[in-house]
Amino acid sequence: MSTPVVSELAPPLRLLLGPGPSMVHPRVLRAMSTPLLGHLDPKFLEIMNEVQAQLRAVFRTENPFTIAVSGTGSAGMEAALVNLLEPGDTAVVVVAGVFGGRMADIVGRCGARLVKIDVPWGEVCDPARIEEALKREGKVKVVALVHAETSTGAHQPLEGLGALCHAHGALLVADTVTSLGGVPVEVDAWGVDACYSGTQKCLSCPPGLAPLTLSPRALEAVKARKTKVQSWYLDAGMVADYWAEGKRVYHHTAPISMVYALRESLRLVLEEGLEARFARHRRHSAALMAGVAALGFEPQAQEGHRLPSLNCIKVPAGVDEAAARKGLLADHSIEIGGGLGPLAGKVWRIGLMGESARQENVLAVLAAIEQALAKQGKLARAGASLAAALESYARS
Amino acid sequence: MSTPVVSELAPPLRLLLGPGPSMVHPRVLRAMSTPLLGHLDPKFLEIMNEVQAQLRAVFRTENPFTIAVSGTGSAGMEAALVNLLEPGDTAVVVVAGVFGGRMADIVGRCGARLVKIDVPWGEVCDPARIEEALKREGKVKVVALVHAETSTGAHQPLEGLGALCHAHGALLVADTVTSLGGVPVEVDAWGVDACYSGTQKCLSCPPGLAPLTLSPRALEAVKARKTKVQSWYLDAGMVADYWAEGKRVYHHTAPISMVYALRESLRLVLEEGLEARFARHRRHSAALMAGVAALGFEPQAQEGHRLPSLNCIKVPAGVDEAAARKGLLADHSIEIGGGLGPLAGKVWRIGLMGESARQENVLAVLAAIEQALAKQGKLARAGASLAAALESYARS
């Protein structure tokens, strides 16, 4: 129990191009260092109102229940599922990667019956399979799936799924952790009943909060529960009484500085405009993908369903991917992500999310990858990726 | 779905003397605005090691499992209980205020059998009552109680309770949210098996993390579970694999900026030294309590068991407490806390936690209270509280 000697905080500066966290704008960092208000201060309650309005704009919803859960993205997933499910319920979960698998795990911990739709990693789910499950399984309470599968880079279409679920009396739960703020998310238009995200991806805010919105239909289901929500911390009914204007009943202490950060990051998102932001993500992803293609990397995700925010690419045979990633970090201070689960050692995940999606970053990571490949004698033609990326930029 | 107009963040400056958050040192605010590392960056893993060593020093424990849970204090409470309890288990919970009541609520949500020991609010629990419950109830898995009851200001002694619980095969869970860093907490010496806290109280870090330590005995109990932990997010086994040196298996994204802040706040705690810090808390609490006594306020908590960090005082009859608190905020920008539950409208809770425990703050709040009472015609002698506080300081 000796006193540890801990020196002044001085981490190296990184270019964050992994699956998150993404780069954070200086305005957001500065907002976080603002002296605190109390979590029940009338001025903080005004800030909560503002954040709720901003989140509704980004989620494209009118849902009154639109909040920031006091935890990271996975807490958002857990909040969505534990509030909607109780023992005896049935949930259909699409598993096309790590995060679908996590949903399935949580469904089990809720004591609900799990109906899994397995999809090869990198592919998206055909809505016909969901319809088939809804017809076959009888009373389904929840259909849950991942909009942007961070482990594969696949971009699951959600349009029409809300109506399909509602026609069968089910609720639609969507994970938009790696999509919100980077590609279109239309909660109301798509009929998503519970939609959550994380702050550290396309919103470019540090991790620590999970935006969550619940439709009136989802709230009805919460109210109709026979049992208490298994999580006190994430109990939507109690949390709602804190976030609801005019109520503000103390539940737990909100992470005030993180709310400041989220507010500032959402200001930046809305100043840029959602459409412009989505276009920026597409533009830089196209250049990156052109560049890596010139080096022999192929996309992991199915054509037509690739996320611009999370570019998952197959590492060419013969390349020591771990050594190359280490070189990127050590020699260039650039972080990219490796593969998860069955894709470990096989793919790279290059995030171009929020502030990270910039031309200078795309060119920097391509140059660094070229150097790493050259070190292993695996670079066919120096400059090929940069030429391809510049050509892509010239076209866009 | 119109775009909300949200102006630059400019909250008023507050003197935070409520039940938390407490004042945050500029070094901690600055640490939070440090550009981010990825949560799997080797340099971030070093920072996690440092924070674990710092937390062990503050908790006074050698427990390898000593981490910061990715949520506020209540998430720490939930993490402690959901990992140790499963359906069929019995838990003895001492309820002497809001936070003991919250523990009891969570025990029920775990499907465990609850044995409640009710204690009048403001009093502490006689260990004989716990011993009696342990003898009477047969196999008890967990005894849980609050070391520093934030709703009443009572300071529950914990010495000897670990040995008592272990003699009956039970585990001891202690809530030190409002004590850690402000009054002695001796996890190993007292035999506490699961001990959690919050960052925003005596550690003077913004809210967002919950320090948690589990004894080897507690970890054995987690490993011996027959069922999965009901919370995926708080599953100690999975979280441990992320925090364990040499493992660092990805579980969920850590709130990186908050870890930076906690590291800096713990540096400040350890630079001051625990004993000096405890003495500082006692000194300023004594002055405050002398001051408010001169104005007719009496302590809510039982004599000999009053927290210096959270001063809970009965508002004299005839004072409109809500109006007075509003005046403190509006006229002096000072936040103090009102009462919770049955104490609402009856008590004030003045926090002198961490950075808030300073002479200038004690004198400022006393002067402000005098003004608020004068406005209601309830101030007997102007300056009485300041004179009493200064006398207390002169003696200390």
Question: pLDDT band for position B177 (50/70/90)?
Answer: very high
pLDDT for A248: 83
Q: Which residues of B touch A264 (CB under 8 A)?
A: 9
CB contact under 8 A, A74 and B39: no
Residue B254 has pLDDT above 80, yes or no: yes
B21 touches chain A (CB under 8 A): yes
CB contact under 8 A, A38 and B21: yes
CB A145 within 8 A of CB A125: yes
Q: Which residues of B touch A271 (CB under 8 A)?
A: none
pLDDT for B221: 97
pLDDT tens figures, A23-52: 999 999 999 999 999 999 999 999 999 999
Residue with tokens 């009396």: A169
A258 touches chain B (CB under 8 A): yes
pLDDT for B133: 98
What percentage of residues in chain A have a pLDDT greater than 70?
A: 100
Question: pLDDT band for position A244 (50/70/90)?
Answer: confident
Mean pLDDT, rounded, of chain A: 97
Residue A247 has pLDDT above 90, yes or no: no
What percentage of residues in chain A have a pLDDT greater than 90?
A: 96
Distance from the Cα of B395 to chain A's closest Cα (Å) equals 31
Q: Which residues of A touch B14 (CB under 8 A)?
A: 35-38, 41
Helices (H), chain A: 26-32, 42-59, 73-84, 98-109, 127-137, 161-167, 187-190, 216-223, 236-243, 256-272, 274-293, 321-332, 359-375, 384-395
Distance from the Cα of A280 to chain B's closest Cα (Å) equals 19
CB B183 within 8 A of CB B278: yes
Q: Coil, strand, or helix at residue A386?
A: helix
Question: pLDDT band for position A216 (50/70/90)?
Answer: very high
Q: For the ranges A125-129, A161-165, B243-247, which has the lowest average pLDDT?
A: B243-247
So what's the ipTM on this one? 0.97
Residue B142 has pLDDT above 80, yes or no: yes
CB contact under 8 A, B35 and A43: no
A187 touches chain B (CB under 8 A): no
**Domains of chain A as residue ranges with CATH:** 26-270 (3.40.640.10), 274-395 (3.90.1150.10)
Question: pLDDT band for position B248 (50/70/90)?
Answer: confident
pLDDT tens figures, A335-374: 999 999 999 999 999 999 999 999 999 999 999 999 999 9
Distance from the Cα of A336 to chain B's closest Cα (Å) equals 9
Residue A186 CB coordination number (10 Å): 16
Question: pLDDT band for position B249 (50/70/90)?
Answer: confident
pLDDT tens figures, A277-321: 999 999 999 999 999 999 999 999 999 999 999 999 999 999 999
pLDDT for B135: 98
Question: pLDDT band for position B351 (50/70/90)?
Answer: very high
Structure tokens belonging to residue A207: 């991790």
Mean pLDDT, rounded, of chain B: 97
Question: pLDDT band for position A144 (50/70/90)?
Answer: very high
CB contact under 8 A, B11 and A108: no
B355 touches chain A (CB under 8 A): no
CB contact under 8 A, A232 and B54: no
Nearest to A86 by CA among A226, A231, A238: A226
CB contact under 8 A, B74 and A20: no
pLDDT, average across residues B92-105: 98
Which position has the higher pLDDT, B2 or A371? A371
Residue A238 CB coordination number (10 Å): 16
C-alpha–C-alpha distance, residues B337 and B4, integer Å: 32
Annotated binding residue at B349?
yes
A:B CB pairs within 8 Å: 249
